[in-house]
A and B are shown apart, each in its own frame.
Chain A
């Protein structure tokens, strides 16, 4: 069993809130092996993006990482001095973001931005960097790559911009790619193309990918394993088939049930009652208690431990624990 490429242990990241600081990510643990795609799924506001940013230590002030261990390719990221952290960013682990529209510098050509990504980590001449960039553009499927080098972001479509972002992220052949909602801002047809591209990348380079998404369809297309997040904690994790076909955590079950389906035509849409509680209003125990249809005595008071359902499938839920022990 090779060491995982990404290992996150009990990550706690806080932001200021009405009552002191709120842990937007509260004791989150996950791991990804090389060549594996782990999807981190959850509703808006559950802390997925903050988790991703925490891995690269990009959490915007006034947020900060309070505790936890983050290891990328064996290196303890939190202990690194900032100069070495910058060497990691873009080279060992790279990130692409949700809004390609605004994630590129509007006054620089896209080529210049990719070249910057290269020259920040390697001492190469401008010519060599340019050639590598054009090469990357071709590999991510940007037509007319040589001419596109001189284009400005506003001259490119959303899909092309995202491809540029991917090219930029791949430029130093990182071992880990963090993709934060890479297709959410794109048209459905373009979504499919980008997903195809990501699949190719995984197959060709053996890269580990942390895919953040709230879209279960995307998850189904790309993920090997899935972790479901709720209010800063992981609720359930397992392989894609395990989770999507046999969800055990009440939240995951409700989430999957709420997807409109052809087979249940004519029925009212199932929804999860209530709303995600804000950081100040979290119950002491399991955070899903207030909306859970299977909650019982221990739920509100005691934080559930992981219950193993199989070698690869775990859930953090008292109800599941009770089922498994019987």
Chain B
């Protein structure tokens, strides 16, 4: 078990190194320092000012040195300052994490519970009219771009019905619910269609297994069969989904935060993209990938909890 853990962590570390290499290629090899300088300082700046900026940010050094620097800094979490406005990137990340989590976590929890319950229900009634109707609704729901949900939601609930503010955010805990109500609603419901289809397939596959037949032959009722047997055996795909989603909870949603004016990590990313702020962008991508890799490893280990067959590998 320990050997497996060590191997897994080592492999994860290798992947991290690979990701950093890819990022370096993208952001350092292809990017032109003059363009970056111009965007930061201003289009009309004199060449002298531009050169100063380039030198200050270290983009004039030989590539190899930049590579080494890049790896070292990233691995020690020394993120430096934004190319654009010189704000320390680490601080930006810290400030952004809170607002993101405040709406992604409830949204995720609600969405997950809703999807699982609905999927169990639909799987139990498979091939009936209920099943087909709900599946049809799910396809319709999935086919609508999330942009429509956001824009439509803002429009309908914010402007016409005026139940919640259209956008904005206030760190005061008493006021937070007002501002996150709509983002949470939209974020949790937008993915339900796709999730229900996925979980339904998983549940139906388990329902067709022999041990379910045995349980029924013992005299177990349908409720018990679905919850004690089918759901328990579906935990691996469910857990995978859940743990894989955690990095996204931290990184917020690019769209929702933009549209609703929530100052989370998603907004940080969008700002960086629109301003071509490479220094922030590469840190954001790195952190996201790092979280992803870490939680992938966590998933592997949680498998052993969910399925005893995996325990002794």
Contact = CB atoms under 8 A, between A and B. Distances in A.
Within 8 Å by CB, do A and B touch in the complex? yes
A95 B216 CA distance: 10
Given A102-B210, A103-B210, A152 B308 contact: yes
Interface string B214-226: 1111111100000
B211 interface: yes
Contact of A90 (B209, B211, B218): B218
**A56, A87, A104, A108 pick with most chain B CB within 10 angstroms:** A108
A105 B227 CA distance: 13
A69 interface: no
Determine the interface band of chain B, counting residues with CB < 8 A from chain A.
20 to 34
B209 A102 contact: yes
A60 B126 CA distance: 13
Contacts of B217: 56, 58, 89-90, 94-95, 97
B302 to A, nearest CB: 14
A121 B220 CA distance: 9
Contact of A97 (B214, B220, B308, B309): B214
26 contacts: A58-B213, A58-B216, A60-B213, A62-B127, A86-B220, A86-B221, A87-B219, A88-B219, A95-B217, A97-B217, A102-B209, A102-B210, A103-B214, A104-B211, A105-B232, A106-B211, A106-B308, A107-B233, A107-B307, A107-B308, A116-B218, A117-B218, A120-B218, A120-B220, A165-B214, A168-B218
A154 interface: yes
B48 to A, nearest CB: 70
A103 B217 CA distance: 11
Contacts of A107: 232-233, 235, 306-308
Interface in A81-133: 86-91, 94-95, 97, 99, 102-108, 116-117, 120-121
A105 B218 contact: no
B216 A106 contact: no
A115 to B, nearest CB: 11
Contacts of B214: 97, 103-105, 165, 168
A103 B220 contact: no
Interface string A166-206: 00100000000000000000000000000000000000000
Contacts of A154: 308-309
Interface of A: 56, 58, 60-62, 86-91, 94-95, 97, 99, 102-108, 116-117, 120-121, 152, 154, 165, 168
B182 to A, nearest CB: 39
Contacts of B218: 89-90, 94, 116-117, 120, 168
A91 B217 CA distance: 10
B39 interface: no
Nearest to B209: A102
Interface string B222-251: 000000010011010000000000000000
A104 B309 CA distance: 13
A121 B219 contact: yes
A89 B210 contact: no
Nearest to B208: A60
- Please name the 7 residue pairs, one residue from A and one from B, whose CB atoms are nearest each other, closest first: A89-B219, A90-B219, A102-B210, A90-B218, A86-B219, A105-B211, A103-B210
Nearest to A56: B217
Nearest to A89: B219
A105 B215 contact: yes
A221 to B, nearest CB: 24
**B218, B308, B309 pick with most chain A CB within 10 angstroms:** B218
